[in-house]
Amino acid sequence: MLGLLARSPWVKRLSGGVPVARLLLVAEVAILARRHVSKLDSVQRRRLLKLLVRARGRPRSLAASERREFLYLVARLEPRVLLGTAVRRLSPVPLPKRLLYGRRGSAARAALSRRI
């Protein structure tokens, strides 16, 4: 899809020195991230944001129960699947699934098989 858009004359005309390919790749990653964030409902997203603000980059500043809740919410986002999918889309060479999603039987592999 990216190659088709890059060859079209209107994209070349509009680009005018703007790296259109990079913008399209960033947009693809943003769409992937949105899909993963949408796995949380609005209450969970607000709570995750509240915990992020409260932690200020230091998880030890949260209470033990808040830290567990934070880890639960982050696990629901499936960050390994997000990273593996993004790398698979952006990489010009195919990478082994083991590198992208972990070994067989891992949680990321199970989540990936549920999506397909």
Identify the band that residue 20 occupies on the pLDDT scale cut at 50, 70 and 90.
Answer: confident
- pLDDT (0 to 100) of residue 98: 81
Determine the Cα–Cα distance for residues 96 and 4; give it in Å rounded to an integer: 26
Per the domain annotation, does 46 fall within a domain? yes
Per the domain annotation, does 110 fall within a domain? yes
Q: How many distinct structural domains can be found in the chain?
A: 2
- pLDDT (0 to 100) of residue 3: 57
Range of the domain at 99: 25-39+77-116
Per the domain annotation, does 7 fall within a domain? no
Say whether 92 sits in a helix, a strand or coil: coil
Determine the Cα–Cα distance for residues 96 and 87; give it in Å rounded to an integer: 11
What's the pLDDT tens digit per position in 38-94?
A: 989 999 999 999 999 999 888 889 999 999 999 899 888 888 888 888 888 888 888
Helices marked H in 1-116 — which ranges?
Answer: 2-7, 9-15, 20-37, 42-55, 64-76, 79-90, 97-101, 107-115
- pLDDT (0 to 100) of residue 12: 60
